[in-house]
Amino acid sequence: MNRITRLLLIGSASIPFLGNAQQDPYYTHYAFNKILYNPAYAGASGSFCINGIAHRQWLGLQDGTGFYKTQEGLRPVDILESINPTTNGFGFSAPINIKSANGTVTNYGGALLSFVNDVVGYESTTYLRGGLAGAINMADGSSLRIGLDFTSITRQVDGSKLRAHQANDPLVPTSKVGATKVELGAGVWYSNPTKKDLFVGLSMSHINPKEYQYGASLTTFTKSARHIYAVAGMSFQNFMGNPALSLDPTILVSTVMGEGGFVKPQFTPQGMVTWNNTFSGGLSLRAQGFGMDAASILLGYYPPIKGNSPNGIGNQLLRIGYSYDITLQTLGRASNGTHELQVNYCFKFTLPPRPEKIYRHPRYMDRSKDLE
């Protein structure tokens, strides 16, 4: 699941790579970037939302001494270059709200557009997604949403930085090569505001896995695999008997279904405490099977601008978040941890009331009151 597997394979590539490890980027602030992995969430908040995120994983990780195989034997070559995974993402979602004759506004779904660039070692992947979601609203206030997205995926490898075991290996590219494919994703989302804002989501990306062939030899360098995400969470007000505190626990379970079956699932429980609708802090753990991968510290800030309200009462929501991941595996000896910065901004847009039309005609401008 951890992307160090891909780093090692890329650095020593000499045969086609058919990867079953996690290929999609992951986010520590997954609870605040739901549309990046579940299209059914599009428009669920009833507001127009913009999400931005920057993820810098395993800072300080560098590509050190490598070896070229020559007739005289292995020759060391020093290549000191940063190869830590970096991810930049942007998302926009809009609700489909319909106003009834009595003035009630009902949400019937939403639309999303997102862009993510993920760089792992010398391989970069660009995701351009567009999707739609529809909602079935229940009498008790809960809703069930179904979403579908289409993703244009471009994978590129900088072959000039790869070190082949054999010189002029035709299976190893020597320049920047890449390919673009279109893949599908789908998800379902259930929410119930009357049950402590309960939400449960299930989604899958890469429903139709594609092979990405690079270079003139059209070597299959990588193949996508289906990723499955299950997320759930609630919100508890008046936490510890303090009306200024609220607790928001969530959990994300993800796995990959490749040609060899399912990999060990990854569990990421998380808890955030918000004080006075202004500051928040929390902890998160990430486990792979029965092994611990990382522990995270999360901080959040809701600027006290007019109309800003995390509890949904206001007409907008602006949140700035930061997290630091402490690597608990042996890779922590070579890295300085992981940093992530994210921004969410949601706002409501209401159309002005339709002006009343007044019709006048010269023939009736001085119409007599007795005239029927």
Phi, psi of 53 (to 5 degrees): -150, 140
Are the CB atoms for 59 and 97 separated by under 8 Å?
Answer: no
Beta strands, E only, 159-260? 176-192, 198-205, 211-214, 219-223, 226-233, 236-237, 245-258
Q: Let me know the angle formed at the C-alpha of 218 by 215 and 219, rounded to the nearest 5 degrees.
A: 95
pLDDT the model gives residue 354: 61
| Mean per-residue pLDDT, 253-281 | 90
Among 8-22, 41-55, 163-177, the least confident range = 8-22
308: DSSP letter: B
Q: Could you count the other beta carbons within 10 Å of the beta carbon of residue 93?
A: 25
* pLDDT above 80 (res 96): yes
CA distance 316 to 349: 10
pLDDT the model gives residue 78: 44
pLDDT the model gives residue 161: 75
4: DSSP letter: H
| Mean per-residue pLDDT, 294-307 | 89
* pLDDT above 60 (res 136): yes
Are the CB atoms for 126 and 153 separated by under 8 Å?
Answer: yes
**CATH, domain 4-364, list 3.90.1150.10, 3.30.70.260, 2.40.160.40, 3.40.50.1360:** 2.40.160.40
| Mean per-residue pLDDT, 108-122 | 92
Tens digits of residue pLDDT in 168-196: 776 677 778 888 999 999 999 999 999 99
Torsion-angle region of residue 158: left (phi > 0), alpha (psi -120 to 50) or beta? beta
Are the CB atoms for 69 and 98 separated by under 8 Å?
Answer: no
* pLDDT above 90 (res 64): no
The model's confidence at residue 60, banded by pLDDT at 50, 70 and 90, is: low
If one compares 74 and 314, the residue with the highest pLDDT of the two is 314
pTM (2 decimals)?
A: 0.81
Q: β-strands 338-347, 316-327: how paired?
A: antiparallel
Domain boundaries, the chain: 4-364
If one compares 152 and 105, the residue with the highest pLDDT of the two is 152
| Mean per-residue pLDDT, 45-56 | 92
Burial of residue 214 (CB within 10 Å: 0-12, 13-18, 19+) is buried
Tens digits of residue pLDDT in 317-337: 899 999 999 888 766 566 678
Among 159-163, 176-180, 204-208, 345-349, the least confident range = 159-163
Which is nearest to 225 in space by CA: 256, 198, 246, 201? 256
